[in-house]
Copies of this chain bind each other. A is one copy, B any other.
């Protein structure tokens, strides 16, 4: 073993904080049934100049937003558009940019609103019975309860029985104007320390399962100028194409599997994260976990 890398290895295995880490197939001892194959109906492929980003949609959390997204993808709405508002440590926003909202006091494009009428917000949902909620196992600073459902980081309120995707790095959501029910076509991906203020205030309905490193390469706007919108259009990174896997010929579809968060394998990994190896971590710390710092492993095969 090479020095610094042994320690490094331990760091990676137990502490790698990413809900969107690339985790290609590795030889581990997890049983096959600990993994769930991502449905091509829920798999978005975003071609950027840096590489392909794969996003899994979560229809149980926001069925109408997922339906809208599938419509948009089928019509190639995003192809040739850009990531026009990218703020370091916060979000990468993409879509049509101009005149896409439904605010009465702002200039709008009537045709856009006719084509893509504003969607009613789906900030949270009562999940189908089959969706297994796996608790994180410790308190959260923001949600009454935090855990995982189908590989997504999830907040839950036992008072009203509603659940929502927590705005961890890699989470995919629709932007909106000030009013709740104003989302039309513009999406964002969280690229920084989880902006938990957005939880249950924006409709999150997916997460990046591969290629987060390409999202991180997107050119940024200036936080303090024009609200982060990249003024120089030439500096906006293009969305070369954005496609639903099920719209591709079957042979062209990539295949991803996500570690089931209701599997014993995931439970073991949670426990390991809570008590990292003393060989490297000499100072015992709090056994708490950050719901956005728990790796949610993904495998790919072509």
Contacts and interface: CB of A to CB of B under 8 A. Distances in A.
Nearest to A18: B89
B197 A89 contact: no
A200 B285 contact: yes
Given A201-B281, A285-B201, A194 B98 contact: no
12 contacts: A7-B178, A8-B175, A22-B220, A23-B223, A26-B224, A89-B212, A123-B283, A138-B141, A141-B288, A193-B194, A196-B293, A200-B285
A135 to B, nearest CB: 15
A24 B222 contact: yes
Given A1-B105, A3-B107, 4 more contacts: A17-B194, A17-B195, A23-B224, A169-B193
Contacts of A282: 180, 201
A79 interface: no
B12 A107 contact: no
A89 B175 contact: no
Contacts of A232: none
Interface string A182-219: 10001000011111111111000000000011001101
A236 interface: no
A276 interface: yes
Nearest to A3: B101
B178 A142 contact: no
Contact of A222 (B16, B22, B103, B138): B22
Interface string A271-299: 00100100111110110101011000000
Contacts of A103: 3, 6
A87 interface: yes
A143 to B, nearest CB: 8
A213 to B, nearest CB: 4
B141 A186 contact: no
Contacts of A196: 285-286, 290, 293
A288 B199 CA distance: 13
A90 B15 contact: yes
A85 interface: yes
A175 B93 CA distance: 34
A93 B14 CA distance: 17
Interface in A155-186: 168-169, 175-178, 180, 182, 186
